[in-house]
Structure 1
Amino acid sequence: MTGSEEPPAFRLAYVPGVTPTKWVRIWNERLPGTPLTLVGVPAAEAAALLRDGGADAGFVRLPVDRTDLSAIPLYAETTVVVLPKDRAATAVEEMSAEDLAEEIVLHPLDDPLDWERPPGRPAFERPATTADAVELVAAGVGLLVVPQSLARLHHRRDLTYRPLTGAPESRIALSWPEEKTTDLVEEFIGIVRGRTVNSTRGRPPTPPQPKAKRAEKKTGAPRKPAAGSKTSRGGAKPSKGGAAKRGKPRRRP
């Protein structure tokens, strides 16, 4: 590589609420010579950014158009209600849609939840952004239903949140243009999927090794002759004295 050439770089987009720190750290450890640039993008503009080449891949909120974009679903977020800390509802651990029936619930134009409108009574106007809706909650205008990551992102000391049961969830996915699945994109996919540094995408499986032949059974040691036996491997059984005794000849009368 000549001095005029720049090293390859990887551009990673992410929508509000996503924290890509863990994956960026692993990338820097494995590919220190390939810089990774983070590109923050509003959720509604993420797909267009990827199509226009503004990023190589990105963390987006589903759904996305799969016509030209690939996507790997990663996780679903908990849906919560953002409300002032001095509200009586903060005494409960979680809330339901029925608890919001008489409440004004704000519905921002950039709402990432997949529903026509949230439960409760609608406000006269829809806030332009989630950040604007949070300000209205702090002013006592109404409540807000969002993914938990957005509630944390727009945290205020005078506000809190509670999980909302029976509500749709926002799902996060890794997405990229299908026709631009480069080697660097494959590297990042491997990191997100938890592949180790030694693993190789598409590596053929190790063929089974032939089993070693079992050793033949060994025969037992030769059986010892029974006690008192007259024969042995050494011949006749000797007497205690080491030689056989001779009997005295009988004398004739």
Structure 2
Amino acid sequence: MSATFGFRDVDPREKPGLVRGVFDRVASRYDLMNDVMSAGVHRLWKDATAARLNPQPGETIIDCAGGTGDMARRFADLARRARDRRGGEDARILVVDYNAEMIAAGRARGLEPEIDWAVGDAQRLPLPDACANAYVISFGIRNVTDIPAALREARRVLKPGGRFLCLEFSRPPAPALARLYDAYSFKVIPFMGERIAGDRESYQYLVESIRRFPDQKTFQGMIEAAGFSRAGYTNFTGGVAALHHGWAA
């Protein structure tokens, strides 16, 4: 059995180190590159994801592959507003990321009382069963070595009725948009990575990893196979990204 690393098939034991190397190199400019590559549209996708999650006071939310914490801060802000309106305890948001450099970059932006940080593996979360009200993973699951294992782990840590959300790059169903997106991805994004972050290779991998990720329907089936009910998805920007969701039965 092999794992994917961009367009390469590699030994599954190699992939974590290869992915860690990519994010070690891009951590300091990760958020800047997201803005440049998407012309800021990724912020709209993330805002929509946070609104769909609808964080509430007192909830425990796992932000898996949470990197620099931009999603966690959105969750904390929404939960804080809800608490100020009607009372209750602070939400607890746990950012878990495999890459210590990404966690360090997030912590350097400032610490917030609702957010805790941990280095951990999406396939083996350092958490007990049924401990969270919600689990979110944004632009991270395609970097996992064993995606079905990560989905089963998400199901394990959710309480009954817990919400699962996964924001990830996907496949535009319209052929014209798909061709345009391919041209932009393979010609422009690695060039931007070289000029802005000084690292063409890492951004070439990121583009390739998107193309190796399952399409929307296939990934929905994987979510259902992991034990989630009412799985579905919403396309953003014509399917350039998709927000997948499910419920822990």
Same fold (TM over 0.5): no
* TM-score, length-scaled by structure 1: 0.30
Q: Which has the higher contact order (CA 8 A, sep 6+)?
A: 1
* TM-score, length-scaled by structure 2: 0.30
Structure with the bigger percentage of helix: 2
